[in-house]
């Protein structure tokens, strides 16, 4: 029940962030009237035009972001997805404008749209990140202070062992006396619970695998962490799997 509640709460936060970005960008675009919409459309049709375009842009963006996180293939893939996003959105806007406005339809306008959308998408990402909950660096530092100095490094995962937690970092592992629930609450958004006995840092996940209905995480320390069915929704909401 706790995992389901956390997943629902996470989903609500994400939708609130998306709606805030959609509303803000739609209003700004309606007032600014880019791409000739200020001259070609009255305020109400212009508002509907931009509300629709921004909604499609955000949905496409979220789909490509989730795809990139699921594939987890590094910066080259992310750059490719950004370019693909700009080309797809430019094509959609170019086709729509060519249908609505007589002065549209030239190839140079499509190239201009690709460039403009690349710039705008950067602004949308900045807004979306602004509304996202952030991990508390102080909490992370406080947690690592419980470890021997020689293994204090970026956290990879936690594993419950009776009343102890095995804490795995990039420099090694050690046991501390602490409950998993207390560690989860203290670390906050730095990672997520994926099993009754396992917590993983987002940055520690190398790959998400799904085989015969079972989901496992390949971690940076080489460990294979099982994901309980009740926590799959949380992984999806975090954008780590589709």
Residues in the chain: 242
Residue with tokens 């140079």: 108
Six token digits for residue 149: 């100095």
- How far are the Cα atoms of 58, 68, 121, 194, 228 from residue 83, in angstroms, in the given order? 15, 13, 10, 33, 36
- How far are the Cα atoms of 20, 26, 118, 165, 186 from residue 46, in angstroms, in the given order? 19, 10, 22, 57, 47
Question: Looking at residue 4, what is its pLDDT?
Answer: 47
At 198, is the secondary structure helix, strand, or coil?
strand
The Cα–Cα gap between 95 and 183 comes to: 52
Whole-structure pTM over 0.75, yes or no?
no
The Cα–Cα gap between 231 and 217 comes to: 12
The Cα–Cα gap between 44 and 124 comes to: 23
Instruction: Find out whether 159 and 227 touch, Cβ atoms under 8 Å.
Output: no
pLDDT < 50 stretches in the chain = 1-7
Which residues are registered as beta bridge partners of 173? Answer: 168
The Cα–Cα gap between 171 and 162 comes to: 23
- Segment 16-33, tens digit of pLDDT: 878 988 999 899 999 998
- Domains present along the chain, CATH in parentheses: 2-131 (no CATH), 137-237 (2.40.50.1020)
Question: Looking at residue 57, what is its pLDDT?
Answer: 87
- Of the candidates 205, 240, 242, 22, the one whose C-alpha atom is nearest the C-alpha of residue 127 is 22
Cβ-based neighbour number of residue 82 at 10 Å = 19
Six token digits for residue 29: 């675009």
Q: Tell me the longest C-alpha to C-alpha distance in the chain.
A: 72
Q: Which ranges constitute the DSSP H helices of 145-221? A: 180-187
Cβ-based neighbour number of residue 122 at 10 Å = 11
Question: Looking at residue 12, what is its pLDDT?
Answer: 67
- How far are the Cα atoms of 80, 82, 106, 151, 207 from residue 171, in angstroms, in the given order? 33, 34, 57, 5, 20
């Amino acid at each position: 029940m706790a995992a389901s509640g956390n997943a629902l709460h996470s989903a609500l936060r994400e939708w609130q962030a998306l709606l805030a970005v959609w509303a803000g960008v739609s209003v700004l675009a309606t007032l600014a009237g880019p791409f000739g919409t200020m001259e070609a459309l009255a305020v109400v049709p212009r508002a509907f035009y931009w509300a629709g375009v921004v909604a499609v842009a955000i949905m496409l963006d979220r789909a490509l972001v989730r795809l990139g996180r699921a594939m987890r293939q590094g910066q080259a893939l992310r750059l490719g997805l950004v370019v693909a996003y700009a080309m797809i959105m430019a094509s959609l806007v170019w086709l729509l404008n060519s249908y609505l406005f007589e002065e549209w339809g030239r190839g140079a306008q499509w190239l201009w749209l690709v460039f403009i959308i690349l710039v705008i998408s950067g602004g949308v990402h900045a807004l979306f990140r602004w509304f996202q909950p952030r991990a508390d660096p102080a909490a992370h530092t406080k947690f690592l202070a419980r470890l021997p100095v020689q293994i204090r490094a970026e956290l990879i995962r936690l594993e419950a062992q009776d009343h102890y937690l095995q804490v795995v970092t990039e420099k090694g592992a050690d046991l501390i006396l602490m409950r998993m629930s207390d560690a989860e609450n203290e670390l906050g958004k730095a990672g997520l619970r994926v099993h009754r006995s396992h917590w993983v840092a987002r940055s520690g996940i190398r790959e998400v695998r799904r085989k015969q209905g079972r989901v496992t995480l390949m971690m940076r320390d080489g460990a294979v962490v099982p994901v309980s069915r009740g926590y799959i929704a949380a992984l999806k909401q975090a954008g780590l799997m589709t």
